[in-house]
Amino acid sequence: MATTQRHQPAAEIGVIGGSGFYSFLDDVEEIRLDTPYGPPSDPLAVGTLHGRRVAFVPRHGRDHRFPPHAIPYRANLWALRSLGVRQVLAPSAVGSLRAEYGPGTLIVPDQLVDRTSGRAQTYYDSGAAVHVSFSDPYCPEGRRAAVRAASGASWPTVDGGTLVVIEGPRFSTRAESRWFAGQGWSLVGMTGHPEAVLARELALCYTPLCLVTDLDAGIETGEGVTMQEVLRVFGENIGQLRSLVGEIVGALPEARPCPCPDVLDGIKLPLELP
């Protein structure tokens, strides 16, 4: 893998995921860069996949050194955009809040609830008040391509659902889990926010791909969620998930017919976007 310090548009699609995705790109070049929000989690790997130029950033760092609440989310999204990325796929491991969505189920949610605290979740925290539309937090075209690709791969897939994002790094108590389920929410994770809203503030298309690794504490009996179980199920599915991401990359439209590119129209921004 070559390493470069160059800072130039190099990719059109970004993937934010785990270290298991390093091997899914061809002709990989490693790009080190900095941002106004510090360096991203690690150097970005840029290569080719299904004829498209793709940039990959490991969400937690290669050595998994960043816990969910300490991930440099702003730097990661800014770095992707600075390389030319305009569409982002975000695979992640999640817990299920519904018994029928067992481990191995893939869910492409359409809604998000933020239960984090203290995370920097905007680029526009000074200079001017900027309010972006976030009623529908995910790209409709990206979601459509993801569901279609997963169905074509015969992967049991749920189209829609609500992801509640907790602060972490601890898992939920049984009482919290039951409360989340009682609200009608489908999934619980630790990394989907502020990624989605930061992508929206940069006028990027953002599509989550949620792999269920466990039933959450209020749904499961026994000892509840363990890190060992999460890693085991994720490891069993990483190859299939990696292949699916490739199929979705190939299916994403080159032109963006969705509302995402236009969310900042008419807004006077207090900073210049890359």
**Tens of pLDDT, residues 48-57:** 999 999 999 9
Identified catalytic residue from 34, 125, 216, 262: 216
| Cα 79 from Cα 82, distance rounded (Å) | 5
The domain ranges of the chain are 9-252
Quick: pLDDT tens for 55-86: 999 999 988 899 999 999 999 999 999 999 99
| Cα 254 from Cα 234, distance rounded (Å) | 30
With bands split at pLDDT 50, 70 and 90, how would you rate the model's confidence at 223? low
Question: Between 20 and 39, whose confidence is greater?
Answer: 39
Quick: pLDDT tens for 83-122: 999 999 999 999 999 999 999 999 999 999 999 999 999 9
Report the pLDDT value the prediction gives residue 1, as an integer from 0 to 100: 46
The percent of residues in the chain predicted with pLDDT above 70, rounded, is 92
Identified catalytic residue from 26, 42, 159, 214: 214
Catalytic residue flag (residue 216): yes
| Cα 157 from Cα 150, distance rounded (Å) | 7
Catalytic residue flag (residue 265): no
Quick: pLDDT tens for 27-56: 889 999 999 999 999 999 999 999 999 999
Question: What average pLDDT does this structure show over 181-194?
Answer: 96
Count of C-beta atoms within a 10 Å radius of residue 196: 28
* Token pair recorded at residue 130: 């900027």
Report in angstroms the alpha-carbon separations of 80 from 97, 156, 198. 32, 30, 12
CATH superfamily label, 9-252: Nucleoside phosphorylase domain (3.40.50.1580)
